[in-house]
A and B are shown apart, each in its own frame.
Chain A
Amino acid sequence: MNRFLLPLGIFLVLSVFLAVGLKLDPREVPSPLIDKPAPPFQLALLQDPGKTLAPGDLKGQVWILNVWASWCVPCLQEHPLLVDLSKQSVVPIYGLNYKDARDDALKWLARHGNPYTLSAMDADGIVSIDYGVYGVPETYVIDKDGVIRFKQVGPVTPKVLEQKILPLVRRLQG
């Protein structure tokens, strides 16, 4: 073989990687929590601060955890989708209200609709750190044993809902 072809070969391999790289999002970080038990917490409810929500209470059912905030602009983008989903009663959606003021959060739900079976308040964001939240909104699918099976960073799109979340939920329920 001609050793002078080596640089060309290296470059071509490199460009294949770069081409693949164009399709990837360097800022999308896969969660190490997939297939791990959902981190436990015990947080006061948004509507009723006297009561609390804990993931342990939800064992035996498949559920969705959606991290949201009233100050979060992209949350508005996915919100109608979640409201729709909640009307179909396919899977319960629980909210984790991230670093928000109670009044603001309640007003926001009153204005845009409330898809959440219950919403817990993570006022200082500590629980969200346990869930590896870094960009609100984030959405988790948690199975009957309390194990995280899917995570979406950023707004849920109709495509993600139809092609990933719903099929997964049906499979986990079945």
Chain B
Amino acid sequence: MIPELGQFALIIALCIALVQGVLPIVGAARGDVTWMNVARPAAQGQFVFVVIAFGCLAYSFVNNDFSVLNVVNNSNSSLPWYYRFAATWGSHEGSLLLWVLMLTVWMVAVTLFSRHLPAEMVSRILGVMALISVGFLLFMLFTSNPFERLLPAAPDGRDLNPLLQDPGMVIHPPMLYMGYVGFSVAFAFAVAALLGGQLDATWARWSRPWTTMAWVFLTIGIALGSGWAYYELGWGGWWFWDPVENASFMPWLLGTALIHSLAVTEKRGGFKVWTVLLAIVTFSLSLLGTFLVRSGVLTSVHAFATDPARGVFILGFLVVVIGGSLALFAWRAPRVGLGGKFGFVSRESALLANNLLLIVAAASVLLGTLYPLFLDALGLGKISVGPPYFDSVFVPLMAPAIFLMGVGPLAKWKQAELPDLAHRLKWALVVALVTALLLPFTMGKWTPMIAFGLLLALWVGLSGFVNLWQRISQLRVANGLGTGAQLRGLPRGYYGMLLAHAGVAVLITGVTLVKGYEVEKDVRMQTGDTVEVGGYTFRLDGLVQVPGPNYEATRGLVSVLKNGKSVRTMFPEKRFYHVQQMPMTEAAIDTGFTRDLYVSLGEPVGNNAWVVRIYHKPFIDWIWGGAFLMALGGILAISDKRYRLARKTERELSTGAVAVTS
């Protein structure tokens, strides 16, 4: 009964989405207020029914309803309840439902936080989002029904893939999807603006917090995924350039470009066409990622079970949504004006150059990901494109972008002077250069890559300080307040920018140091054996058998000693999952501010000895720390009061602004 209820709720949600996708958009075109007013209640109604559907599926999973095919394939009665709940989105079908759920969450958010927007705008935005929702609901109901029954019911399920039985599974997919789907808001804003012919600074200001929010979620989602891979896969890597990782990374790169481009559009009225195109393409890449993961055109460790019929459907959907919006763009964009004037050396130019680099980086990731497919389709051979390619292409593209990160925020809008910039930044550059060249010597190893990585990180960090310091001293001259008052007086958006950029510096530091100074030892250990790695002594004190809820684990007891004193005991496990008959390596990690200790059990090699792999990974947590700082910077920027206070005046202003900027 419950699964049928869920399916019924999905059908109702589809009907509502159809209404929401048609009436408000037509209403906005004809100026019919009654039709436009359908948008908000419809979006909220749709949300309610999708929540019901999601609840029904989660209920079936948690209560072990093995008459539902999806539950049989992805769960088991011995699975702990929280993983049974997370298994709701463990399958292709369930994750689609999560996708739609997130989409409706964003819709409801739009209905709540857009009271200040003109009715036509809101109607169009919600209408466009509903049309996306229609596509996904149809896809689910026709090719991937999460509620499909299995008759007769199975006695028990085939269990969730052991790789997914992890706290990461509970939090990573929802975050990632919030990010992916969140860009649909920016997309809907862009399409709505194109439909209404109203592309101006106010439009940019409205869509900016939404874009930043989606970007924050995506940043956190990607960081969580990377952290999960790090401890779950058991060989200590944290980024593999797998097609599915790339599918999330490309929208992130473009989303980053979009955030910066929106800043110019909002502040200076420039790049309007460019910003709209970015908003469309960013979401398009989210959709493309969905296609790549679910259609089976690429092989990936993370891909879902695939089915060509699904691929055809999503591709058709992509052509309609992306093709349609790009056609609309081609039709409307020529009418959009140019915006403010700026010189070759100016913050606008710096941001534009940065945009270019980010986009070329994203395009390169796309090229590398799809190139094997291109060659195969043209019958020109079968190749693999892996991490060595991406590393060697990505670094040279990002390095100048990171250099510009130091310059851009200091450059004046409209017109900046190169000598002035050089003068203001010379100390940051000198200090960064000298430190980067000398610091590796004190750490025991000097390579060009380490020095270069440190240079980039220090440059970003120091130029941020210079920026803050000069901003304060300028203000002090201007209004004579004390430093504390100055610091409090600066807008949060500014701090958000500094924090996010500092996050990049922290991340680069982490990547550089862990790549440069990581130590790995593979040893054969019997009880009592010791090995020294990175200044710590690891001693295997024994192995015990530990039963888990749905697995049996061999747990190693490893003492960690520093200067002869025991500082920690670590418990790496080798698990064997009964239902899927699959062994899993569960690494033990001791997290620290300056280093991780990472111990994973390999295979038994006879004589009670085991292969044990031990890593000392300096500063690795800075990678994720940096990512979270970036996300925090985004949150800080959204909380800037100009997004809250400005709302009232915008409505009157927006009509005037068009006249000025177009």
Contacts and interface: CB of A to CB of B under 8 A. Distances in A.
B326 A27 contact: no
Interface in A1-43: 2, 4-5, 7-8, 11-12, 14-15, 17-24, 26-30
B326 A22 contact: no
B299 A22 contact: no
Nearest to B309: A22
Interface in B526-566: none
Nearest to A30: B382
A12 B297 CA distance: 17
A148 B40 CA distance: 67
A30 to B, nearest CB: 6
Interface residues of B, number: 33
A23 B372 CA distance: 14
A80 to B, nearest CB: 28
Contacts of B327: 8
B334 A2 contact: yes
Contact of B372 (A7, A14, A22, A26): A26
A9 B319 CA distance: 12
A26 B377 contact: no
Nearest to A14: B370
B568 to A, nearest CB: 43
A4 B325 CA distance: 12
Nearest to A23: B308
Contacts of B319: 12, 15
Contacts of A21: 295, 297, 373, 376-377
B315 A15 contact: yes
B374 interface: yes
Nearest to A6: B330
B604 interface: no
A18 B313 CA distance: 12
Interface residues of A, number: 22
B376 A8 contact: no
Contacts of B297: 18, 21-22, 24, 26
Interface string B299-337: 100000000100110010011001100110110011000
B334 A4 contact: yes
A80 B295 CA distance: 33
A4 B333 contact: yes
B298 interface: yes
A24 B315 contact: no
B157 to A, nearest CB: 22
B322 A11 contact: yes
B326 A24 contact: no
Given A15-B315, A27-B299, A30-B382, A5 B330 contact: yes
A17 B381 CA distance: 15
Contacts of B280: 7
A11 B329 CA distance: 13
Contacts of A26: 296-299, 372-373, 376
Given A15-B315, A22-B311, A24-B297, A7 B330 contact: yes
Contacts of A29: 382
Contact of A24 (B273, B322, B373): B373
A143 to B, nearest CB: 23
Given A2-B334, A5-B330, A22-B311, A12 B281 contact: no
Contacts of B284: 11
A50 B325 CA distance: 72
Contacts of A14: 370
Contacts of A24: 297, 373, 376-377
B291 interface: yes
B323 A20 contact: no
B318 A15 contact: yes
Interface of B: 273, 277, 280-281, 284, 291, 295-299, 308, 311-312, 315, 318-319, 322-323, 326-327, 329-330, 333-334, 370, 372-374, 376-377, 381-382
22 contacts: A4-B329, A4-B330, A8-B326, A8-B330, A11-B284, A11-B323, A11-B326, A12-B319, A15-B315, A17-B373, A17-B374, A17-B377, A18-B318, A18-B373, A20-B377, A22-B296, A22-B297, A22-B308, A24-B377, A26-B297, A26-B299, A30-B382
Given A2-B334, A24-B297, 5 more contacts: A2-B330, A4-B329, A17-B373, A24-B376, A26-B297
Q: Which 6 A-B pairs have the closest CB atoms?
A: A8-B326, A21-B297, A20-B377, A4-B333, A4-B330, A5-B330
